[in-house]
Structure 1
Amino acid sequence: MTDAILKMENITKSFGDGDTTVQVLKDISFSVKRGEFVAVVGPSGSGKSTLLSIIGALLTPSTGKVTIDEEMISEYKSSRLTSVRLEKIGFIFQSANLIPYLSVRDQLLLVGDIAGGGRNKKSAVEMLEQLGLGSRLKNYPKELSGGEKQRVAIARAFMNDPELILADEPTASLDSDRGKQVVEMIAREVKSRNKAALMVTHDERVLHLCDRVLYIEDGRIMER
């Protein structure tokens, strides 16, 4: 059994046809181990979004292998990739993307219902309490601060006990202090639950909270 939850091997991704083909990712290889929190940084247009989409089973690579929790997903059909997203991956986005008519607790329970046989109401409450939201269970998104919404999003990402957490600019809509708190929470949850996490970010102020920083430019990746 390998310690790497995520493994990328010689990944390339091209868009277009013939003379208009653009290679966005070029021979990318790296892995993320259990309990490891890795950041990916790079300029706009460097391939960060495409990379995250491939890891998140939203796109398939042109060539190369993607393995999540010892399951090679790079050649899966779209229907099977949907199952991978539900069972193996937790997503945290730039904005919390909460459903306005659901309470904080119900945001988490919906994830369990969609996945089928998800964790129960007690698990949702315990997770929210651990993130300091025990008094907000019945509140709706419009009643929460930006930081509280992102904490709900973190709890939601961990709800189905995924092996891999993907965070896409989780501090983008937060001020410096709240942004740092959110990334600290992600790091703490990754360590305490022994998961793997990859965060795409422009926020240099939170990089010290990560175990490693990968830099992507012109479709190629290197360690900083």
Structure 2
Amino acid sequence: MIDLYYWGTPNGHKISIALEEMQLDYQLFPINISKNDQFQPEFLKISPNNKIPAIVDHDTFDGQPIAIFESGAILQYLGRKTGLFYPSAERQRIEVEQWLMWQMGGFGPMLGQNHHFSRFAPERLAYPTKRYQDETKRLYGVLDHRLQDRDYVAGEYSIADMAIFPWMLRYDWQSIDLNDFPNAKLYFERMQQREAVKKALAIQV
């Protein structure tokens, strides 16, 4: 059994999607970030950076529970644990890892800043808003180009897609018109049709 410490954010969705895709048993522990649950001492023991998601796996390789934070690390762990969506052949694994890192280092953080300055900042500041909206559009262009001759970013469906897709769910917050990125739009629609994705996104907390 895996304990999932979760809230319904893009990073939270990554792990619920992975757990559903891999058909792993898990129980949900909501961490309400709007009430600062992530700063509780009990959660800090599991996630030292006070961020969701985090997991505790009780069915491990050595019989001892293991706590893991950082969504990318969790995805890699679950991929290794199950042998699913994370190939063992080095060339194919590199394809997955570089797009996972692209999401972790760019597509997530830049879109997150876009969300902040476009929607949540106490005052609207033109320079950072434009900066992050422009970078968001550039990153969607990178994704669109990558998908011009393949259905998924690494060829076969993988943990990289599980990481990327949830950040597209709020394209309307990002001043993005998916019609400007036709390959990314088809990818978005393709991901939405996966049964495990539907189940993960239906979680209510």
TM-score scaled by structure 1? 0.32
TM-score scaled by structure 2? 0.34
Q: Report which structure shows greater RCO (CA 8 Å, sep ≥6).
A: 1
Counting strand residues as a fraction of each chain, which structure ranks higher? 1
Counting helix residues as a fraction of each chain, which structure ranks higher? 2
